[in-house]
């Protein structure tokens, strides 16, 4: 049996601010109101750290999208200087309040928001979280409501809001119960962009990155004599950082055994089955392993023998 796997963190790379479809037709027509921010999500690509693979339509899907706005007095690169202002949410109905419609434009998606300006904090970082129902702290517990920044008439901060560095360090995605649940598409994705509130329209290209590892498994029963029936992960993570923060080291409760996923689909046991299972990335010391269950045909008797293989997950040089 060939045992190969591809771990990847795919990205939707922002390719500029054009709203023209690939066929030359026009996409979203912006309202061009002062203070409007036009967001462009487009393209495809992969994180350099992981093996290349082609994303499926279900992996590319955006079913839910929240945009968190953080403001600062200057274009600081220090996330501690950015304070939470408000959240905008994707809707498929008529937008009201802080809502927007995400519209396809060729291979891209576009949206338009008009933030409520916070005096003294014209520089904005937009933090986008896709396909995540709620946000959790790094310890897996629910995170309390974000604190909103307030400023006085001169633009000085009166009440500090949740800072961007605290936001990034705390928030994770999480499986509800690893014993009964598993990671499914559409996958959680995140991305950020920066701009400044001005009297003109701003355009921001956002790069969305997935936070999970994907396994593609290559097995051909006719040559390996193995029929894979289910796959799962041992000593796996039940959550993953949305913004690349380092999770705590392994301890009781940190590592779990994933629910078995049926090994089915096109090419199952007839070549490479793509996206056989998704997992949250592990960290050094976790000693995670892929669990493969199935039947092995005895070469001497022809009997189908139930087998389980535990395959250590290691990062190999590219």
Specify the pLDDT at position 26. 38
Burial class (CB within 10 angstroms; exposed 0-12, middle 13-18, buried 19+) of 2: exposed
User: Are 159 and 178 within one domain?
Assistant: yes
User: Are 90 and 116 within one domain?
Assistant: yes
**Would you call the peptide bond into 186 cis, given omega within 30 degrees of 0 as the criterion?**
yes
User: Are 100 and 192 within one domain?
Assistant: yes
User: Are 104 and 17 within one domain?
Assistant: yes
User: Are 146 and 292 within one domain?
Assistant: no
The rounded average pLDDT for each run of 10 residues, N- to C-terminus, in the chain (318 residues) is 32 29 36 73 46 63 93 92 96 94 82 91 94 79 87 95 92 83 87 87 88 92 96 91 77 80 94 93 87 96 96 74
| Residue 80: strand, helix, or coil | helix
In-domain check, residue 4 = no
168 phi and psi, to 5 degrees?
Answer: -65, -35
Q: In what order do the strands lie in the sheet with 202-206?
A: 103-105, 108-113, 37-42, 202-206
In-domain check, residue 90 = yes
User: Are 46 and 167 within one domain?
Assistant: yes
Question: Do 282 and 256 contact (CB within 8 A), yes or no?
Answer: no
200 phi and psi, to 5 degrees?
Answer: -125, 175
Specify the pLDDT at position 47. 44
In the structure encoding, which two tokens stand for residue 100, read together? 């927007």
Question: Do 131 and 187 contact (CB within 8 A), yes or no?
Answer: yes
- pTM metric for this prediction: 0.80
In-domain check, residue 129 = yes
User: Are 206 and 219 within one domain?
Assistant: no
In-domain check, residue 3 = no
User: Are 70 and 192 within one domain?
Assistant: yes
User: Are 78 and 191 within one domain?
Assistant: yes
In-domain check, residue 122 = yes
Question: Do 150 and 158 contact (CB within 8 A), yes or no?
Answer: yes
- Residue 270 forms beta bridges with which residues? 220
CA dist 135 and 129 (Å) reads 9
Specify the pLDDT at position 252. 54
Structural domain count, the chain: 2
Domain boundary among 191, 210, 229: 210
Residues 6+ apart with CB under 8 A from 188: 129, 130, 131, 132, 173, 210, 211, 212, 240, 242
Q: What is the CATH number of the domain that holds 92?
A: 2.60.40.2580
Domain boundary among 195, 210, 225: 210
In-domain check, residue 88 = yes
CA dist 292 and 261 (Å) reads 10
- The secondary structure of 116-179 as a DSSP string is ---TT--EEEEEEEES-SS-B-TTSSBPPPPPPPEE-TTS-EEE---BHHHHHHH-EEE-S-TT
User: Are 192 and 273 within one domain?
Assistant: no
User: Are 56 and 170 within one domain?
Assistant: yes
Specify the pLDDT at position 243. 87
Burial class (CB within 10 angstroms; exposed 0-12, middle 13-18, buried 19+) of 108: buried
For 162, the domain range is: 10-210
User: Are 179 and 306 within one domain?
Assistant: no
In-domain check, residue 317 = no
Specify the pLDDT at position 30. 40
Question: Do 258 and 279 contact (CB within 8 A), yes or no?
Answer: yes
> Could you tell me which of 113, 121, 116 has the C-alpha nearest to residue 161?
121
Domain boundary among 210, 244, 262: 210
- Residue 240 forms beta bridges with which residues? 173
CA dist 66 and 91 (Å) reads 10
In-domain check, residue 5 = no
CA dist 310 and 306 (Å) reads 14
The full length of the chain comes to: 318
């Amino acid at each position: 049996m060939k045992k190969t796997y591809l771990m990847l963190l795919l990205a939707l790379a922002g390719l500029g601010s054009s709203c023209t479809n690939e066929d030359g037709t026009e996409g979203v027509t912006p309202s061009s109101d002062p203070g409007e921010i036009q967001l462009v999500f487009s393209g495809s690509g992969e994180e350099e750290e992981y093996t290349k693979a082609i994303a499926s339509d279900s992996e590319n899907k955006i079913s839910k999208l929240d945009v968190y706005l953080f403001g600062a007095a200057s274009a600081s690169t220090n996330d501690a200087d950015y304070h939470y202002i408000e959240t905008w949410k994707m809707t498929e109905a008529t937008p009201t309040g802080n809502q927007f419609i995400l519209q396809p434009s060729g291979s891209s998606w576009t949206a338009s928001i008009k933030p409520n300006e916070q005096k003294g904090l014209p520089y904005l970082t937009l933090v986008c979280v896709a396909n995540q129902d709620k946000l959790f702290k790094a310890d897996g517990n629910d995170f309390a409501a974000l604190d909103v920044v307030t400023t006085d008439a001169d633009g000085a901060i009166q009440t500090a809001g949740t800072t961007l560095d605290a936001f990034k360090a705390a928030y994770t995605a999480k499986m509800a119960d690893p014993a009964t649940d598993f990671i499914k598409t559409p996958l959680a994705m995140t991305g950020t962009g920066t701009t400044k509130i001005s009297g003109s329209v701003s355009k921001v290209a956002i790069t969305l990155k997935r936070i999970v590892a994907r396994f593609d498994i290559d097995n051909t029963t006719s040559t390996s004599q193995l029929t894979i029936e289910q796959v799962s992960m041992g000593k796996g993570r039940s959550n993953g950082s949305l913004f690349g923060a380092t999770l705590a080291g392994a301890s009781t409760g940190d590592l779990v055994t994933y629910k078995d996923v049926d090994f089915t689909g096109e090419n199952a046991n007839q070549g490479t089955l793509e996206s056989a299972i998704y997992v949250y990335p592990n960290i050094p010391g976790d000693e995670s392993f892929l669990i493969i269950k199935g039947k092995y045909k005895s070469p001497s008797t022809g009997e189908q023998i139930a087998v389980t293989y535990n395959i250590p997950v290691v990062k190999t040089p590219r």
